[in-house]
Each structure stands twice: as C-alpha cells, then as structure tokens.
Amino acid sequence: MSIDLYCEFHSEIAESHPIALHQWQDWFESWERYLLSEGAIAEGEYELSLLVTDDLKMQQLNLQYRQQDRPTDVLSFAALESVVPEIPMQISGYVEPIYWGDIIISQTTATRQAEERDHSLTYELAWLAAHGLLHLLGWDHPDEESLEKMLNQQELMLRQISL
C-alpha cells in the first residue's frame, strides 16, 4: 500500500504557501490508511496530483471545464469514473499504480474562506484537499443529504491528521 503524490505550487502563491511538500505527502498517506481501514478503498498502489494555484488560473480552468467564468475553491478531475480495474502483477512483481486523478486548489480563494470562517489557511487547504480526494474516489453532493455525509467524512479525515 502506498500513495505517490505529485505536487506543484504555482509561483504566484508559492512564497506564501504554508504547507511543506512532505506534510502534504504525510496527510495523503494518513487519509489512504484511514480510507483503507473504513473499506472505502482497496489495498494497492495509488497516484494523484495536487496543484495549488491562484484565482486567475482557477477561473480559467473553471471556465474551460465547467463553463463557469469565476474562480472556485477546488476542482477535482477523476481519472477513473467507474470501478477501479484489476491490474495484473507483472513477472517482475511490479504493480502499476492506479492514477486517481487531479486536485486543483485556489490558495487565493482558500485564504479568503479561511478568514471568513475564522480558521487557519492550513486547515482550509487540508479541508479542500480532503474534499477533492473524496470527489476523486466517487463521492458527490447533488443534494443536501449527500453533502452532509461528505462533509462529515471530510471532518473525520481532518481528525486523522490532527486538524
């Protein structure tokens, strides 16, 4: 079991980004262990990417992929829209990691939301990352009941990383 995180911080926000790369990796590994223990994922090798950017880039992506000409806090692009396929083990014992997809967070919006909600930027970024990860794993919130379940799951995930 392992998760490889490919992380990028756009230069516009990099100097003010409060979370070290190794911290992001630790958080996603903790979430992987938690989700495995809950039966939400199977044991395996996984990959995903995380991009932290600003509102300008986020607005461009939101327009391109969701036809909404405004920034948003987090976008998720799942690589798999169905049940995770069984990938056979190669003769060498190498198992191809399953790519979950991409999470993109606007640090500009996260900063604003953290101030409005009276908590730290670190907490807000972790909250958004957990939300994005759940979307990659197939969670959605088309109605109030499913939103409540998803928000509760995010809260449990943040407890796993002591936030």
CATH code assigned at 39 = 3.40.390.30
Residue 17 labelled as part of a binding site: no
Q: Give percent of the chain with pLDDT exceeding 70.
A: 91
The overall pTM is greater than 0.85: yes
Number of domains in the chain: 1
Q: What is the pLDDT of residues 85-125, one digit of tens each?
A: 555 555 566 677 889 999 999 999 999 999 999 999 999 99
In the chain, what is the straight-line distance between the N-terminal and C-terminal CA atoms, in Å?
A: 24
User: Which domain, by its residues, includes 24?
Assistant: 2-160
What was the pLDDT predicted at 83? 54
The phi, psi pair for 102, rounded to 5°, reads -125, 140
Rounded to an integer, what is the distance from CA 55 to the centroid of its chain? 17
Residue 141 labelled as part of a binding site: yes
**DSSP helix/strand/coil, 39:** coil
Residue given tokens 């939101």 in the structure block: 62
Residue 131 labelled as part of a binding site: yes
